[in-house]
Copies of this chain bind each other. A is one copy, B any other.
Amino acid sequence: MLYLVGLGLADERDITVKGLEVVKRAERVYLEAYTSILHVGKDKLESLYERPVIVADREMVESSSDEILEGADKADIAFLVVGDPFGATTHTDLVLRAQELSIPVKSIPNASILNAIGATGLQLYNFGQTVSMVFFTENWKPASFYDRIRENASIGLHTLMLLDIKVKEQSLENMARGRKTYEPPRYMTVMQCAQQMLEIEEEKKVHVYAEDSLAIGCARVGADDQQFACGTLKELCNIDLGAPLHSLVLLGKRAHELEKDYIKKFAVNEETFEESWKKYHGRNQ
């Protein structure tokens, strides 16, 4: 059996009792370590599990899935995923390969950012589709996120933006030369996300949002030191929310007074918060 085990969001103790049982009895334990991260190192996991954990990078999962699945027809293999196995990335290729090999697959659910974002006080019912934001480069500024936000905004909904993670990436030069040298990991910040959003609005000018649109910058959601900052996109362009992971919620115009009561305590600046609320959200109440 291949078990996809959700680890939750913060540390080693966010695994479920059921997930821990699977990990303890599995033949081998892999940790998927390129689409998200916990706030603790592999050593903490190994210490709770009382056994070694094999870190699986993108290359291993994409090119050596048969190695991961070896023996899974007879024994249990645990594949650990930060958050929920279905959260932001589904490991469809691994699952499909397992099915080809007639290996049964089971998932152990856990919290994901998609529901933990409720800690902002925003109602999960008021969110539209979730959107990804990738790091822009000088020549590559994918703006499809803008259309997705426009769609959500057109029906008044909030948009949760999940921010890019670059782990074990090669520079173009190293890739060209076949050198297995990797760049240091990079995690997009709320600040970078807000800047990229305004850059694309400036370019497209469809007024999907503006410098004074309200958003909530979120850091380390689900951890003890989670942090929220509610401000205008312009304010969030200059905010430092500390260590990763970050995400951002752009408020939809249908935001409710009850949500306001909850999020105003995260306001970066009460005055601009009230102004923007009144301008964009106050009219539907």
Residues of A within 8 A of B (CB): 6, 8-9, 11-18, 20-21, 48, 84-88, 90, 92, 107, 109-112, 114-119, 121, 123-132, 151-152, 154-155, 157, 222, 258, 262
Contacts and interface: CB of A to CB of B under 8 A. Distances in A.
Contacts of A90: 118, 121, 123
Identical chains in the assembly: 2
A8 B118 contact: no
A133 to B, nearest CB: 13
Given A11-B18, A15-B17, A85-B118, 9 more contacts: A16-B110, A88-B124, A109-B116, A110-B111, A112-B115, A114-B114, A115-B115, A125-B131, A154-B155
Contacts of A126: 129
Contacts of A8: 16, 109-110
21 contacts: A8-B110, A13-B16, A13-B17, A16-B16, A17-B17, A84-B118, A86-B116, A92-B262, A107-B119, A109-B111, A112-B115, A114-B115, A114-B124, A125-B129, A125-B130, A125-B132, A126-B129, A128-B128, A128-B157, A129-B155, A155-B155
Nearest to A118: B86
Nearest to A252: B129
A147 to B, nearest CB: 10
Contact of A84 (B92, B115, B128): B115
Contacts of A118: 84-87, 90
A159 to B, nearest CB: 11
Contacts of A16: 8, 13-17, 110
